[in-house]
């Protein structure tokens, strides 16, 4: 199985960042993070490039989460775009 997510699923991250949605993010290790979607970017660790979600935490700190580590995202408040997205790998 690949670690890439589909373009359609990636679009939900872009929407969340554009509208600064507050998300409940469930990681593959079952840890949950709540924060405001802020930005998407590519970071390089050695020779490996990773796409990450930048999240503003309630304590005003910024957290970087690799997209491949995310199992699902849930919007805290109702919005016209999505409620919950479970990520599947392509």
Q: What is the pLDDT of residues 37-85, one digit of tens each?
A: 999 999 998 999 999 999 999 999 999 999 999 999 999 999 999 999 9
Six-digit token string for 51: 């796409």
**CB-facing half-sphere around the CA of 63: CA atoms within 13 A:** 17
**CB-facing half-sphere around the CA of 24: CA atoms within 13 A:** 11
Predicted model pTM: 0.90
Measured CA to CA, the distance from residue 3 to residue 17 in angstroms comes to 21
Q: Which residues contact 8 (CB under 8 A, 6 or more apart)?
A: none
Asked if pLDDT for residue 4 goes beyond 90, the answer is: no
7-86, CATH topology level: SH3 type barrels. (2.30.30)
């Amino acid at each position: 199985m690949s670690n890439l997510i589909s373009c359609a699923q990636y679009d939900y991250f872009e929407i969340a960042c554009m509208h600064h949605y507050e998300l409940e993010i469930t990681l593959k290790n079952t840890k949950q993070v709540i924060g405001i979607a802020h930005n998407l970017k590519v970071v390089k660790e050695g020779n490996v490039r990773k796409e990450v979600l930048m999240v503003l935490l309630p304590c005003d700190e910024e957290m970087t989460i690799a997209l491949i580590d995310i199992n699902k995202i849930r919007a805290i408040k109702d919005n016209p775009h999505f409620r919950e997205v479970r990520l599947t790998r392509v």
